[in-house]
Structure 1
């Protein structure tokens, strides 16, 4: 079924029908294999694939332990297309594969390799709250999520008619009760004046956060909104570099930072960003890709949230365990994922670099 959020209802995007996945395997001379991935929604998958194919050969013959140096080498291999966007999203698949390999060589999960603060992390569901789903279906999805052990529910807002948004949030709050955590996501579709009005109207529902109320790059607008509302402001999923996130952090634009490791260049860059966010006293709620982010969020000193999307589950043989509102951090070495037979059959190209 095509997926719709506020960007669709405002005419800026078409309903989403697919997620393009980029997988990378890095093999050592001793036969160990690291698996990494990146992704793109709606458009950009072929661009990521093409760029990764061009720059990957610079890894041949290198020591896979030197991940930070290799990330820089990959960036310079494609320097003419920049250090953000599709270029770094392509590099992310290779970077993640190197970290998976390092974990396997050490016999440690990615969480333990990086240094864990938590063995489990709070989790919330998003996939059941899109705007194409009637409110009755949203409430049914919320019930199923709670019964499955999830600890929060996020629904989409940002419709042209704000009254419809408020009615949906009111119905959800009444359905789950006063104490259950709920969040809303406007997907960048409000202007500054609308965000203030809607933010004030939403205060009564005691939300955990309001996500992407404004354009993702509007640091000034987000900072003003965060200062004027009691409800915390969250954003960052659309940003594609640490530098872009740093602009929001420096401006005090958000209370909760929402990086996406595949979008900002992989685990190497994600960990750089976590240090900046921690220093600024921000909370953390990574976007999408829970199979990867459950590890990364576990390394954050504060209690993070991880977004539950079941969309990628058919790609892997493993499943993340959930109990009492929390995701259990996997203990298998590396990222702890193996590709399912189904996705192996979908592979477009293999053995791009063999010498």
Structure 2
């Protein structure tokens, strides 16, 4: 029997790209170990690059990238230069279009800002493809689960007194969040240990607890503190060393009982491959906006799966929930409520898990507040009808 030809258009030419630079202010300045060691200033706002891509058949996709402290205007400027290369292209050909965009800016590299500027466009293309299919992005990618274990980070910063950290943790657990992450890495290691001990005593032994040193220990300190932290039964120790010290992280992963987590600061597949091949992490923490979008993230996930690694994508839960749900092995997703004012929708949390929404694509629409926080925007191609 001969199959009847489909009446659905196979191609979806891109006719419009809209870019916007949005500055999200935080309610209060926050500090991690990088601030306490004098390497950075407290974080007061986050810059976002939003991309909306429209096609000839009337479909639209939305994606975003971000930068903490410096870099937001640079992402926006680079995206404006390369985005015209998408006009007239078939939006379905996401892999080829990612290559086209990276080559359009290849003289400034294939990692860092050059690829982070591509992320918003790439994520918008995946959002669009899932919407055309009428599927949540996780389902389009091939979900392994409908909910992902989640832990809170935003309540455990070093700028908060320990009493506030404990209160935030208890509130998160009451609201259904499944784990708590604390910032450590202070110049005074004993202060870190007292902080972890206090939270563990208050929350009990059964609550999943993680710590994050934000790259502020050297190798001897990380080994010494890591041994002491064993008694707290942590889910992982995150970024104990410089993000690019693959060998140092590998030594910790080989000698400590507590798992090692790292990867969030890396901005390419190649950098993650080095971590994976060195066996530097038990939990890999890629960040889709930082590595250039969902397309390179999926390449990293395939490498991680091949080595049987667990995964805990960094930040941007609105994107990473879908990607974690499509990863076949153990996953966690990081809860930050910071981005919620940018969107009309909210993610649901229940029984320690974040639920994959049943809305098509990422399941997000931009709020009026996002428009109010827009500092610059540009339209490329045909205006929206």
Q: TM-score range by the shorter chain?
A: over 0.9
Give the alignment of 1:59-138 within 5 angstroms.
Answer: 59-138=86-165
Q: Is the 8 A contact 1:5 1:131 kept in 2?
A: yes
- Alignment match, 2:229: 202
**d(CA) in 1 for partners of 2:190 and 2:373?**
43
Aligned mate of 2:378, from 337, 350, 354: 350
**d(CA) in 1 for partners of 2:239 and 2:182?**
12
Deviation at 1:345, TM superposition (A): 2.6
- Alignment match, 1:257: 284
Aligned mate of 1:330, from 357, 363, 366: 357
**d(CA) in 2 for partners of 1:73 and 1:305?**
32
- Alignment match, 1:142: 169
Aligned to 1:116, the other structure's residue is in SS state coil
2:323 corresponds to 1:299: no
- Give 1 or 2: higher strand fraction: 2
Deviation at 1:352, TM superposition (A): 3.1
**d(CA) in 2 for partners of 1:290 and 1:188?**
22
Cα deviation code 1:23-47 (max 9, x no counterpart)? 0010001221110000000010011
**d(CA) in 1 for partners of 2:262 and 2:195?**
21
- Alignment match, 2:24: none
- Alignment match, 1:214: 241
Aligned to 2:169, the other structure's residue is in SS state helix
2:71 corresponds to 1:54: no
TM-score by length of 1: 0.99
Cα deviation code 1:123-182 (max 9, x no counterpart)? 000000000000000000011000000000000000000000000000111111111100
Cα deviation code 1:203-247 (max 9, x no counterpart)? 000000000000000001011111110000000000000110110
Aligned mate of 2:262, from 224, 230, 235: 235
TM-score by length of 2: 0.91
2:176 corresponds to 1:158: no
Aligned mate of 1:3, from 10, 25, 30: 30
Aligned to 1:275, the other structure's residue is in SS state helix
2:313 corresponds to 1:286: yes
Q: Is the 8 A contact 1:121 1:303 kept in 2?
A: no
Deviation at 1:302, TM superposition (A): 1.4
2:240 corresponds to 1:192: no
The higher radius of gyration belongs to: 2
**d(CA) in 2 for partners of 1:353 and 1:344?**
21
Aligned to 2:30, the other structure's residue is in SS state coil
Give the alignment of 1:309-324 within 5 angstroms.
Answer: 309-324=336-351
Q: Is the 8 A contact 1:122 1:303 kept in 2?
A: no
**d(CA) in 1 for partners of 2:270 and 2:162?**
38
**d(CA) in 2 for partners of 1:341 and 1:106?**
27
> After TM superposition, which residue ranges in structure 1, 4 or more long, deviate above 6 angstroms?
none
